[in-house]
Chain A
């Protein structure tokens, strides 16, 4: 097994202390560590952090509570605890199901929701060990997936020429619920949280730390659902996933796909197609078609198969809200 190169390790006591260390130089923060330690072990990035700042030693960031009509989840809450929480399961079904379908039981026991939404995008050129492909996402000049094997890549085009997809299973649920993400500096709408950054995946500054996820209560009578397509039911990252939050009589609808684009992809076309309509097979199918109307396969059509899957995921997520 590859061992890690040396680094220093600091147990932070407060968020401010962690932020000041992160701002001081080549440092990375570690919570569950399941994504970070993998990227470090296989040295997929051109840089290697000199210091790891442990966030798990900060007290008071592990909670699930409902306050004033808002679900508040501490950033250090393990995915498994979210998936098993009765409160989340009954009122925020799509989020619980998204957390439950993430990776493996072990990784859900280790991984936190803060880390899940901040994980790096997935692309096998980007993630190949020892930085073999110094691609655009790492500050290089080429996207190797564009002309290479891109069967798992974006179907809604590239952002700054990068085709890697965001693999988070909780992210689409957070976008569909119109959640807000609280950091030590600001409150960010879930829809604006992800971006094409190098090499990150979020709008966060180097010394910015997610502290809380705030999910407003869905409108009365609404239902939510999460659908995921992956090769294996457990372990695998999504090929396509989709979360839907649909109000009573479909007066409101929010739909978000993930693993189809650089960032979670909110499908306003599908929302418009289902709003105010009866939730049935035909209407759900039409919404699915609307969601992928602007989807395009990449040259070579290796990722063409993802388009009908995305359509089916949207359709099934809507039908599950009936």
Chain B
């Protein structure tokens, strides 16, 4: 078995999300389902996730992670530490910053531009293949968080040093202990990106 090619990677982004995807520019509203109508203080926000525009009805006490997973069907933000902000598994990129989606209120994301690991894989960002080439995961549960954090680093820093990478990934935990593999993977992705540019 060789290393699977990028094209064969399953992408959950292909699954139909339950939220309302808007054609860019047009605003289409789908009424919330019955159980949502009965809840108090609903509000509507618009946000961009992985390039798609969504208009969703949410309640103030929902987390961004809840919105992404339960409403929009993007399941890459994982829950490990239970919402303490201690593991980095739920990392998404919001307006260019890697943030913890479990500690972000969905209602504060109106107008936000969000990128999840699905979007990074769909855009065929070299970080994905670099992670595969370097075996930078074992069980893979923490990987979406690592990938988002690493991609946010590469967006800001075209030539990160190993120290920069260790520093940036310092908030992501991996129970399998793949830490040694991450700096070479991110360095490889940076090399590929710089070659393309």
Contact = CB atoms under 8 A, between A and B. Distances in A.
Interface of A: 1-9, 11, 30, 33-34, 37-38, 41-42, 52, 54, 56, 78, 80, 103-107, 109-110, 233-235
Given A34-B103, A107-B171, A234-B170, 9 more contacts: A3-B62, A9-B107, A104-B85, A105-B170, A106-B100, A109-B97, A110-B97, A233-B170, A235-B173
A106 B167 contact: no
Interface in B128-178: 149, 167-171, 173
A33 to B, nearest CB: 6
A2 B88 contact: no
A33 B149 contact: no
A8 B107 CA distance: 10
Contact of A56 (B59, B108, B171): B108
B102 to A, nearest CB: 7
Contacts of B123: none
Contact of B61 (A7, A33, A103, A109): A7
B82 A109 contact: no
Interface in B22-49: 40-41
A235 B86 contact: yes
Contacts of B76: none
* Most chain B beta carbons < 10 A, residue from A1, A41, A80, A235: A1
B20 interface: no
Interface in B100-114: 100, 102-105, 107-108
Given A33-B105, A235-B170, A235-B171, A9 B88 contact: no
Contacts, number: 92
The 4 closest A-B pairs by CB, nearest first: A104-B171, A234-B170, A9-B60, A4-B61
28 contacts: A1-B79, A2-B82, A3-B62, A3-B63, A4-B61, A5-B61, A6-B41, A6-B61, A7-B60, A9-B105, A9-B107, A38-B85, A42-B83, A104-B86, A105-B167, A105-B168, A105-B170, A106-B91, A106-B98, A106-B149, A107-B100, A107-B171, A110-B99, A110-B104, A234-B170, A234-B171, A235-B86, A235-B171
B66 interface: yes
Nearest to A57: B108
Nearest to B41: A8
B84 interface: yes
A62 to B, nearest CB: 13
B60 A8 contact: yes
A109 B107 contact: no
A252 B108 CA distance: 45
Contacts of B98: 105-106, 109
B84 A38 contact: yes
B83 A106 contact: no
A42 B83 CA distance: 9
Contacts of A106: 85, 88, 91, 98-100, 149, 171
A107 B85 contact: yes
Given A9-B107, A104-B170, A109 B83 contact: no
Contacts of A235: 86, 170-171, 173
A233 B41 CA distance: 42
